[in-house]
Amino acid sequence: MTAVKHPDTASYGQPLLSEPQSSYSQPPQYVIVLPPYLPHYRRRLRREPCWGRLICCAAVLLILVAAGYLFWPSDPELSVVRLNLDRLHFDARPQISVDITLDTTIKVRNKDFYSLDYDSLLVGIGYRGRRLGLMTSDGGHIRARGSSYLNSTLQLDAVEMLSDAIPLLEDLARGSITFDTVSEISGKLRLFFFHVPLKAKITCEVIVNTRNQTITNHRCHP
């Protein structure tokens, strides 16, 4: 009787096909994460404020403000150069009236960098808040940053003073009478393709000596 040879029990745990051995073993891979690198001047700009940019912005702002101040349209400037009373006559018949002839010279100064075309010059005279009369002269042209002298003569004949008869008689007895004069100019400023309307006005308080018919004092203000 032939004996059957059993395999070793240790061979049961071995695989049927063995895995091929790799010729070399792969080393482990590592990933290193670093912060982004900035150049030295970029790091300095991040740490310190941008003074250069702030100074540039401030300079541009100052230039814009100065340009707006210089080139922004403004009203012309008026001043009374000469004020002369040629005639002052009071008449009580048939009613209380006054005759006045007043010569004025007005200086108009254009402060802008654009030329000015004025339509007319208006000169009026009043007594105790009541306008006695006015005159209007023709227009003209004033160059940029220039001045012009405008002469005008206001002549009033037989202006009734019935409503102001009592204060007028008191002033005549005192020998001094006060008139109010108004000088006004209106025009247009040439700003490129636009015309900007402008107006200027000056008022004066004129004290007249009724005995010798001369102006003793006058005070003007815009």
Residue pLDDT, tens place only, 158-189? 899 888 889 998 999 999 999 999 999 988 87
- Here the CATH number for the domain that contains residue 124 is 2.60.40.10
Q: State whether residue 173 is helix, strand or coil.
A: helix
11 pLDDT more than 50: no
The number of distinct structural domains making up the chain is 2
Please indicate, yes or no, whether residues 53 and 99 belong to a single structural domain of this protein. no
- β-strand pairing of 116-127 with 130-137: antiparallel
Q: Give percent of the chain above pLDDT 70.
A: 74
CB 60 within 8 A of CB 185: no
Please indicate, yes or no, whether residues 81 and 64 belong to a single structural domain of this protein. no
Q: How far apart are the first and last CA of the chain?
A: 150
The residue ranking higher by pLDDT, 66 or 135, is: 135
Is 28 part of a structural domain of the chain?
no
Predicted TM-score of the model (pTM): 0.67
Sign of CA pseudo-dihedral 166, 172, 153, 142: negative
Span 51-94, pLDDT tens digits: 777 888 888 888 877 766 666 778 889 999 999 999 999 888 88
What is the span of the domain harbouring residue 56? 40-71
Neighbours of 190 (CB within 10 A): 17
Please indicate, yes or no, whether residues 112 and 155 belong to a single structural domain of this protein. yes
Please indicate, yes or no, whether residues 87 and 46 belong to a single structural domain of this protein. no
Please indicate, yes or no, whether residues 158 and 58 belong to a single structural domain of this protein. no
Burial tier of 221 (Cβ tally within 10 Å: 0-12, 13-18, 19+): exposed
**What is the CA 137 to chain-centroid distance, rounded?**
29
40 pLDDT more than 60: no
